[in-house]
Amino acid sequence: MKVARYAQNPIITAKDVKPSRPDFEVIYTMNCGVTRLDNDEVLLFLRVAEIAKCDDDSIAKVPYWCEEQKKLIVREFDRNDSAIDYSDSRFVRTPERTFLSSISHLRIARSKDGIHFEIEEAPAMFPCNEYEQYGIEDPRITKIDGTYWINYSACSAITGVTTCLASTKDWKDFTRHGVIFTPDNKDICIFPEKIDGKYYAFNRPASAEYETRDMWISESSDLIGWGNHRLAMKSRPGKWDETRVGCSAVPYLTDKGWLEIYHGSNRDDRYCLGSALFDKDKPWKVIARMDEELIKPETPYELNGFYGNVIFNCGALFEDGKAKIYYGAADTCVGYAEVELKDIFDALK
């Protein structure tokens, strides 16, 4: 597969983003939703992760939303406490519960050329309730009848990982609509139009007992309540997507069916992108699927980072006969790549 990465990748890194407050530090930005606005600007909705600054090596600081106090607080832990597990830099695990070491919010970036972005100085959406205790992550954007619908993962020790929904018409005012998929269900992509009078969404529930992580599809009459859940596409033993699959970009309607760019991982936790084609009228039916990866980690910024060997995306533009893919690289930065749609269709079997 011929993939054209932007030569100056990554296009956005942590140093390009201003912290949300003086005592915070941006450690990575990735996994952005994308849409093209009516004024022809490209808008990215960035996931921005921050940590609380700390000059004392004996202390770990953990930021999180405190539902009791109705505000974001920073809690301190003793790094010399043997009862606390600090072995994974992403977590602080106490005997009582697991904390995330960082907290994520969503930030707007705009561009005229789709490559060089101006990033707003303040968060557009910030954690503000018990479902979003540890942050909000990985937004996807679906435009329907002039409204931008944003679904995102909300992380909390109280409620687990849920998927929430928000909407905006102007990218200034946002309305939260609450939880639309319960734990642990994420990687949701809402289709951009109704099919036979129903809204549809790909989603990825996780079974703790049987350890399955496959793509499902659900339907709704109002984008809030979802039902008629059906298994849509499974992981494949022995292939690059053998342990999990999840939707990435919002499905794109072609004359051949719904084109979906999805992510998958193997037993080594290597994350790649692939593509599948679903029936136009029965989108739970797979028509064709790529055997090999569409994009796999190859460059230093994809192989090395906060969580290396990862390519993960939450959005793409389908324009000019191309898939223009904005992706998170190594859970650290944002990369950009283009793939000819003809090449994708040629690889579908």
Q: Which residues, in sequence order, are bridge partners of residue 147?
A: 144
Burial (CB count within 10 angstroms: exposed 0-12, middle 13-18, buried 19+), residue 199: buried
For the cut 90, the answer to whether the pLDDT of residue 153 exceeds it is yes
Dihedral angle computed from the Cα positions of residues 152, 156, 161 and 166, in that order, rounded to the nearest 10 degrees: -20
Q: How far apart are CA 92 and CA 62, in angstroms?
A: 8
Please give the residue range of the domain that contains residue 331. 4-347
**Structural domain count, the chain:** 1
Q: State pLDDT tens for residues 195-254.
A: 999 999 999 999 989 899 999 999 999 999 999 999 999 999 999 999 999 999 999 999
Q: What is the pTM of this model?
A: 0.96
Q: How confident is the model at residue 256 (pLDDT cuts 50, 70, 90)?
A: very high
Q: How far apart are CA 285 and CA 144, in angstroms?
A: 23
* Owner of token pair 């790909």: 202
pLDDT for position 90: 86
* Mean pLDDT over each residue of the chain, to the nearest integer: 97
- For residues 89 and 105, the answer to whether their CB atoms sit within 8 Å is no
pLDDT for position 239: 97
**Domain harbouring 255, CATH code:** 2.115.10.20
pLDDT for position 1: 80
- For residues 221 and 180, the answer to whether their CB atoms sit within 8 Å is no
Burial (CB count within 10 angstroms: exposed 0-12, middle 13-18, buried 19+), residue 297: buried
pLDDT for position 89: 85
- For residues 173 and 161, the answer to whether their CB atoms sit within 8 Å is no
326: Cβ–Cβ under 8 A, 6 or more apart, which residues?
Answer: 32, 34, 44, 313, 314, 315, 316, 334, 335, 336
Q: State pLDDT tens for residues 160-174.
A: 999 999 999 999 999
CA separation (Å) from 267 to 21, 237, 264, 270, 273?
Answer: 38, 10, 10, 7, 15
304: Cβ–Cβ under 8 A, 6 or more apart, which residues?
Answer: 330
Q: How far apart are CA 266 and CA 244, in angstroms?
A: 7
Q: State pLDDT tens for residues 282-321.
A: 999 999 999 999 999 999 999 999 999 999 999 999 999 9
Q: Which residues, in sequence order, are bridge partners of residue 175?
A: 167
